[in-house]
Amino acid sequence: MPYERPADEDPPGAARRAPGRRDLLRMLPALGGFAALGGGTRAWAAQAEHAAGTGAGHPAAPGARHPAGGITRAGTRTDVNGRADGDDAGSGGSGRGGRGVGVSGIVKPLPEDVFVVHGTNAETRWEALGDVGHLVPNDRFFVRNHTSTPLIDAATWRLRVHGSGVRRPHEFRYDDLRALPSVTLDAAIECAGNGRSFFGSQQGSPAPGTPWRLGGIGVARWRGVPLATVLRLAGLLPGAVDVLPRGLDAPFVSDGVDLGPVRRPLPVAKALKDVLLAYEMNGEPLPPDHGFPVRLVVPSWIGIASIKWVGDIEVSAEPLSSPWDTRFYRMFGPGHPAGGGPPLTTQVVKSAFELPWDASLPAGRSHVLRGRSWSGTGRIVRVEVSTDGGGTWRPADLRGPRQRAAWSSWRLTWRPPGPGVHTLLARATDETGATQPAVTPHNTFGYLFDAVVAHPVTVFTP
């Protein structure tokens, strides 16, 4: 699916007037793509006006205000399990299109053939990726939110960089960032809880939280400014230790305690290495659900590090912390330290088939099994597939890009021996030698499931 960007994109300030044709084209990805036109041009234009804050009866910021800019929010949200559990500091969904933020906090439409909605989160169905290339289109990219998607006015948005680790605290406007030298990066964003459901269904030890299968991941082409550039412009000091980006989403409440907006520290070494302040996704301005106007992209790390809707970055000469690296996103439970393991960082090795769960395949013919594998520690160098529940294994044919921060596609031809239920397995190995195990040790919150997943299919007689 090609990505096109209007040749004459209006400046951010243009959102203050009623949107014209170029504005509507620019907003198209954020509003659900050309599918949004199904309700007629007038309805679509009204939806665009609402998102831009220019429509009649829709003030620019009817919700909470923030020093960083005008923001419309659905309000404080509480996780149903009293805990945070995922990644792409993301969003939720109603399963339907419509104006503004959906009933569960997501802006974009969530068609049932593309997404499985889990409260405030939307998981991509793997079969919905079978007809797309290396990059996941914005309208199929999974969503992970702790609260709900805020609608932010780029014209009044500011990024404040401050703290004891910089000598020149600075505020950046949206246009300021876009004027800086940019880089483009293909990278995965993956929820730390991706695969959580298999702790229960496959290993018999359920973990609370969003019951992701393997659809809490997506790869996109991100464009933006290296975080290192912004830190140096603010006068990064040699003694700086940690960087704490803070999102502009509504406060998160857990067990009755207001934990504030999502935020999580990064060590300065990682911040300077490869972290991006992204303002484009697949050649378009970030959609609201994916962090508009600016988000972090932290390659190879768990998704909670890639803070969306970032409006504030504290740089400190002392170690920093937040609930998202103390209470959550650490390993707790048997086999882990009594007070919890260290904060989670790098993702693990995983594989998935581009097939529906419990897929049905006709007997008497060959089928090309396709899938993708990825790792936070290195490029994928080998994928093995079993079509008999692990009795035998064959090497799959790796195809397409093999990028360290993204995923690798593969394929294998299989002719089922006959009708009945069959179990497909895919096992990947990366360039460091890390391989998917048969079992993932249990942890209380169900993070980092990396075991080989047993994918059931039914072969039938046509």
How many other C-beta atoms can be found within 10 angstroms of the C-beta atom of residue 338? Answer: 5
- Confidence (pLDDT) at 26: 39
How many other C-beta atoms can be found within 10 angstroms of the C-beta atom of residue 21? Answer: 9
Tokens representing 63?
A: 């919700």
Distance CA 436, CA 453 (A): 9
Q: DSSP class of residue 408?
A: E
- Confidence (pLDDT) at 252: 95
Q: Along the 462 residues of the chain, how does pLDDT read in single tens digits?
A: 332 332 333 333 333 333 343 343 333 333 333 333 333 333 333 333 333 333 333 223 223 333 345 787 654 444 433 333 443 333 333 333 333 565 569 999 999 999 999 999 999 999 999 999 999 999 999 999 999 999 999 999 999 999 999 999 999 999 999 999 999 999 999 999 999 999 999 999 999 999 999 999 999 999 999 999 999 999 999 999 999 999 999 999 999 999 999 999 999 999 999 999 999 999 999 999 999 999 999 999 999 999 999 999 999 999 999 999 999 999 999 999 989 999 999 999 999 999 999 999 999 999 999 999 999 999 999 999 999 999 999 999 999 999 999 999 999 999 999 999 999 999 999 999 999 999 999 999 999 999 999 999 999 999
- Confidence (pLDDT) at 100: 53
| Helix, strand, coil percentages for the chain (3-state, nearest 5) | 15, 30, 55
Find, among 392, 395, 383, the residue nearest to 350 by Cα: 383
Distance CA 377, CA 366 (A): 34
Domains of the chain and any CATH numbers:
63-342 (3.90.420.10), 350-460 (2.60.40.650)
- Confidence (pLDDT) at 44: 30
- Confidence (pLDDT) at 165: 98
Tokens representing 155?
A: 């014209």
- Confidence (pLDDT) at 104: 67
Distance CA 114, CA 25 (A): 23
DSSP, collapsed to helix, strand or coil, labels residue 201 as helix
Whole-model pTM: value is 0.82
